[in-house]
Amino acid sequence: MEDCKIWKGLCPDYVKKCKMRREKTMGKSVWRGEVGMNRLFRYFYVSDLIAVVGASISYIAIYWTCAQLLSPAAVSLVIGAVFVIRFISSSLVGPWIDRIEPVRLLKATVLIRCFLLVAVWYLLTQTDAQLVPLLFLLAVQTFLQVIGGNTAFKVVTRIVVSEQLPVANAYLSTLDRVGTLAGLLAGGLLITGFSITVILGMEAVLHLLAWCLLFPLRSGEKTTDKPKWNYWVDLREGLTYLTRDTRLIRILVFGILANWMITPVNALLAPFAKDVIRGGANTFSLLELALVIGGIGMSLIYAKLADRLDLMQMFYLSMVLQGGFTLLIGLTTTLPFAFSGMLLLGMALSLFGIPFSTLLQQTTPDALLGRIRSAMVAASTFSSALFFGLSAYLTTVFAIDTVFLFFSGSGLLILLLLRLQRKTPAVEVRRDEVG
């Protein structure tokens, strides 16, 4: 059992109860338990949930505080700056994620966020300045979240057997929605009764707890025969691999197409609720809530039925459903039908996200997973920005419901054309190969 050192000590029960399966990853033997959601995954899941809730609480508190100190135009610029930071970070962090042991990197990002929160909390208690420390916190936290999210995506492949990745991704999809919703609700309540310093102190404690829960995840052994690291060479290697693997390109193209079809929902839901449904803030909140509830419901259903579902079939079906439900939402003018459409669209979004993540994890070599995933996120973020701009322009020419019909209808047409294309054989790549 010398090869199983990473499982000893803190996880004796898991080692005893589970079969161990060895896989080659970057030339090393990595052992995974051949069970569903094992003990390590549960620790990872709870830690991630706590971190997501904490981050959501602080974000809404920071945005609200900035709204009290800045003009609406300045707040919009702040949100745009966060978008830019996320895009640039996603474009550049891939090589570091692939070079640093993922468990060690994940623990480091959570701990750094804890120290950062404590530092800003202390600064706010000692000075009257609020805006600059909060904007600094927002920028650095966004950068760390990009690193943490991409690293966590890679950690999952280390602690969950490949056959159970769809189930794990289904649970993680639920985590993201539940954690974000709970954090936003809690943040909205807390900011009305507590100061921003108290809320940042609470989040620091939550991140410390999240870091402690990651202790059972042991880092892999360091290798002494690593090739010399060159950032730009590594970055180019990842991009070259992505452009040459037809399966990854296909996943990326369909991901961007999915973004295209749901653009009106992301960009124009508030005007849709106000001008088409003739509602107010409560109507907008109900539609957002329906989207979240639908996503949670589908994630739970997928987790139960994952072993009976074909990934590619669900991937393509989800895209048809996304376009179809967005089209139906654009055709309705009443709240009950709009709520039902958003509920179904939320289910379709989860049905898309779970196979998307799993296919990416299963078709990408471990040594390149950080770079490939980062490139995917960057491309998705950039395309979404372009689509949002186009949707904003189209609303000056057409009615909002027409914009919904344009994006969803054209997306479904493009999807049909892509599916009718003559299929070409994909380049077969195993996850244990280094591109």
Count other Cβ atoms within 10 Å, centred on residue 327.
18
User: Does the pLDDT value for residue 409 go beyond 70?
Assistant: yes
138 with 242, same domain?
Answer: no
Confidence at residue 34, expressed as pLDDT on a 0 to 100 scale: 37
Residues whose CB falls within 8 Å of the CB of residue 58, separated by 6 or more in sequence, listed in order: 117, 137, 141, 187, 199, 200, 203
The number of CA neighbours under 13 Å toward the Cβ of 230 is: 4
- The model's confidence at residue 63, banded by pLDDT at 50, 70 and 90, is confident
193 with 243, same domain?
Answer: no
Q: What is the CATH number of the domain that holds 167?
A: 1.20.1250.20
Which is higher by pLDDT, 337 or 190? 337
Residue 335 tokens read as 């709240």
Is 122 inside a domain boundary? Answer: yes
74 with 193, same domain?
Answer: yes
User: Does the pLDDT value for residue 279 go beyond 90?
Assistant: no
207 with 235, same domain?
Answer: no
Asked if residues 119 and 396 have their Cβ atoms less than 8 Å apart, the reply is no
Confidence at residue 47, expressed as pLDDT on a 0 to 100 scale: 92
The count of structural domains within the chain is 2
Q: In this predicted model, what pLDDT tens digit does every residue of 304-316 receive, in sequence order?
A: 888 888 888 899 9
Confidence at residue 435, expressed as pLDDT on a 0 to 100 scale: 39
Helices (H), 127-164: 131-159
254 with 195, same domain?
Answer: no
Confidence at residue 342, expressed as pLDDT on a 0 to 100 scale: 93
Q: How far apart are CA 401 and CA 412, in angstroms?
A: 17
- The model's confidence at residue 22, banded by pLDDT at 50, 70 and 90, is very low
Boundary (domain end) residue, out of 213, 240, 272: 213
Which is higher by pLDDT, 380 or 427? 380
Confidence at residue 28, expressed as pLDDT on a 0 to 100 scale: 39
Pick the range with the lowest mean pLDDT from 1-15, 92-106, 199-213, 227-241.
1-15
311 with 386, same domain?
Answer: yes
Is 426 inside a domain boundary? Answer: no
Is 102 inside a domain boundary? Answer: yes
Is 286 inside a domain boundary? Answer: yes
Confidence at residue 83, expressed as pLDDT on a 0 to 100 scale: 76
Which residues span the domain enclosing 73? 9-213
171 with 93, same domain?
Answer: yes
Which is higher by pLDDT, 97 or 319? 319
311 with 185, same domain?
Answer: no
Is 2 inside a domain boundary? Answer: no
Is 4 inside a domain boundary? Answer: no
Boundary (domain end) residue, out of 178, 213, 248: 213
Is 43 inside a domain boundary? Answer: yes
Q: In this predicted model, what pLDDT tens digit does every residue of 216-271 receive, in sequence order?
A: 888 766 555 556 666 777 778 878 888 888 888 988 999 999 999 998 888 788 78
349 with 274, same domain?
Answer: yes
Residue 344's alpha-carbon distances to 74, 266, 289, 335, 412, in angstroms, are: 35, 15, 12, 14, 17
Place of tokens 């507590």: 194
Boundary (domain end) residue, out of 213, 242, 273: 213
Confidence at residue 434, expressed as pLDDT on a 0 to 100 scale: 43
